[in-house]
Structure 1
Amino acid sequence: MNCHQCGGTIALTDRFCEECGASLTTNPSLQSSDNGCQKCGAPPSKIDNDRYCIECGFRQVAISNDRIELDFAANFAGASDRGRRHHQNEDAIALKILDPDTYIFVLCDGVSSSQHPELASRAAVTACIEAIAIALNGDRAQPDNAIEIGVQAALQAVSKIPIDPSSSIDPSSTTIVTAIVRDNIATIGWLGDSRAYWLVPEKSLQLTQDDSWMRDAIESGMYTAAEAEASPYAHAIVRWLGADTADDGVPNLTTFAIPSNGYLLLCTDGLWNYAPDPAYLYHTLAQSPAPDPLSIVRHLVSYANQQGGQDNITVGILAIE
């Protein structure tokens, strides 16, 4: 989850934001509980007069996810935006720096066809980044193990979101892409179609491969790329995090040795749908009015909205210099 005042990452149990000091329990602009518990999804009837959820104990915090910006360091920033067509932001982002040289990203895109996708993405980023940080700080687990631990924590958090079992709508679910950068090695894990890119002037790369119907159809030889892209199933995902996850939520993993100066970018499909080609995405990034990551993420979000903003847009960037 994120601070209502500065957008910084907060734990569900925090009383004050560590980034800006804002109170997370006495905010006078506290929203009504019409939408139920922000943590566990319990119905409004479970919120008492003091804004505590009698199911999980969480006190409701005024948090608007329509637009969030995270400016963690001169080289590390992120943003999430509702876009122009969705009625709410079902994406979520968390960033964290450990020590002076370990960077953690987690981005999630709640599956709109599931119950409470906005809760799924928020629960997943919070659980994942906390579990990764504990794993890396505690027994100095290797980054790939830490990502597996983090994704499992995210799966457990999403699976605990209360749902209506009589509904025909799928249980709460979300995509996830996460990365740990340490000693110029990026370790990346993902489920679904949120992506990671390495962006440089000479040879930009897509570092992840979508868990999607389109990719499977093309790789099987059943469809050409053009035919698959024209299909109504083109953007259907075949793996995700949720109570109905079929394969225990084991993430895809890859490592990338960072060869030079450049940008490691993670994003949801609200951005890459408008710039899927790595070279074109770098070209778009390079049009930013300033080279710092916060200016770049603002520029990329603005670009996606200018193209139509059909989906929620979330971007995280680490500049390597």
Structure 2
Amino acid sequence: MSNYQLPITNYQLPITTMQCPNCGTKVTIGDRFCEECGTPLAVTIPNAGDRCEKCGAGVEAIDAEGYCSNCGFRREMQTCDRLEITIQSNLAGISDRGLRHQQNEDYLACAKVDGKNAYVLVVCDGVSSSQKPELAAKVAAEKASFALCAAIQKGAVKPQEAMKIAVGEALLSVCDIPYTNGGDTDPPSTTIVAAVVVDKMATIAWLGDSRAYWISPQGSQQLTKDDSWLYNIVSSGKMSEIEARKYPEAHAITRWLGVDIGDNWHPSIVHFDIPGSGYLLLCTDGMWHYAPDPSQIAHLVKEKSDKDAVEISRSLVEFARRKGGHDNITVALLSL
């Protein structure tokens, strides 16, 4: 295992709340149902039961690595074929296994920061060639989301510094996943794209080829640049995109979150002044592969502009599935 370590930032995570999409009652991140009306807050379809297989403790007793806090038994991590998250009508996301992969190795997290005009979106795509990619994506998305919410709510740092803290925390969580040295698979790793929106300013960070787009009636654009062999070779002018896609390296990423990333873990960060109404979309390559140009994704979103965020997200996922669903598909959408 690498000797490379990141400094651990110590702070108390606040209780971050959001609203039930049905009745508007405040609920806490981690709640599965609204206590007021019973509406599900995150719809998951696992392959097996969530309870401890040894003592029967509920899902709340199972930590991120599968250990039961009641009896210590560790079960094999179960995959989530489909995850739907609705924070409120303008913020939602979906992660879907797709049609070809045996398990879903993507994950997402979304939140509205309590007491602030701020939103958080995180999308991760576990690297299939690594060990436990589904767990890497899950812990990275959850840790980054909580760290962003904590930093923004405390107001002690600017969004860019909050993003650096969040990505560092996400990296630590991935590095903490046990793995086997040697063999044909790499240590656990995942891509990440994260956004925090405070008032009319979006701060976006990424490692890998999961993307962020801005979509509006005035124009749409890709806000991130892929950390990939394909992007590097095309942007250098050495090949056209058509030529580069013929090479086996075309789908290789050049940066990621994982113990083997070394000193190259610092994310790329951009700031985007939100010019007016529109949509901020984060997605994995299982989505954008079928609509790589911003105008293509914009067309899909605008077709459902009369719908709320979760309905638009569902339509994007179903589009990718109809196109073949060769990869896991994850989208997170904020309407502004």
State the TM-score, normalizing by the size of structure 1: 0.84
- Aligned pairs for 1:29-178 (under 5 A) are 29-30=49-50, 39-40=64-65, 52-53=72-73, 65-98=80-113, 99-178=115-194
Give the conservation status (yes or no) of the 8 Å contact 1:115–1:163. Answer: yes
Residue identity in the other structure for 1:52? G
CA–CA separation in structure 2 for the residues paired with 1:96 and 1:270: 23
Give the conservation status (yes or no) of the 8 Å contact 2:79–2:103. Answer: no
DSSP-derived class of the 1:234 partner:
helix
CA–CA separation in structure 1 for the residues paired with 2:174 and 2:28: 18
Q: Which residue of 2 aligns with 1:57?
A: none
Greater alpha carbon shift after TM alignment, 243-252 vs 284-293: 284-293
Q: Which residue of 2 aligns with 1:20?
A: 34
Q: Deviation of residue 304 (structure 1)?
A: 0.4
Q: Deviation of residue 163 (structure 1)?
A: 0.4
CA–CA separation in structure 2 for the residues paired with 1:78 and 1:293: 8
Q: Which residue of 2 aligns with 1:25?
A: none
Root-mean-square deviation (Å): 2.7
CA–CA separation in structure 2 for the residues paired with 1:9 and 1:116: 28
- Aligned pairs for 1:219-234 (under 5 A) are 219-234=235-250
Aligned partner of 2:313 among 294, 297, 305? 297
DSSP-derived class of the 1:304 partner:
helix
DSSP-derived class of the 1:233 partner:
helix
Give the conservation status (yes or no) of the 8 Å contact 1:195–1:210. Answer: yes
Corresponding pairs, count: 292
Give the conservation status (yes or no) of the 8 Å contact 2:255–2:264. Answer: no
Give the conservation status (yes or no) of the 8 Å contact 1:198–1:206. Answer: yes
DSSP-derived class of the 1:214 partner:
helix
> Deviation digits for residues 3-44 of structure 1, max 9, x if unmatched?
xxx9x9856xxxxx275359xxxxx9435769xx86236xxx
Q: Deviation of residue 131 (structure 1)?
A: 1.2
**1:183 pairs with 2:203:** no
DSSP-derived class of the 1:270 partner:
helix
DSSP-derived class of the 1:70 partner:
strand
Q: Deviation of residue 136 (structure 1)?
A: 1.5
CA–CA separation in structure 1 for the residues paired with 2:109 and 2:28: 6
Give the conservation status (yes or no) of the 8 Å contact 1:293–1:317. Answer: yes
Q: Deviation of residue 289 (structure 1)?
A: 8.0
Aligned-pair identity in percent equals 44
Give the conservation status (yes or no) of the 8 Å contact 1:106–1:125. Answer: yes
Distance 1:190 1:90, change over 3 A: same
Distance 1:250 1:260, change over 3 A: same
State the TM-score, normalizing by the size of structure 2: 0.80
Q: Which residue of 2 aligns with 1:203?
A: 219
- Aligned pairs for 1:251-262 (under 5 A) are 251-262=267-278
Q: Which residue of 1 aligns with 2:45?
A: none
Give the conservation status (yes or no) of the 8 Å contact 1:33–1:51. Answer: no
Residue identity in the other structure for 2:251? H
DSSP-derived class of the 1:78 partner:
strand
What residue ranges of structure 2 are gaps of 5+ in the alignment? Answer: 1-19, 21-26, 39-47, 55-61
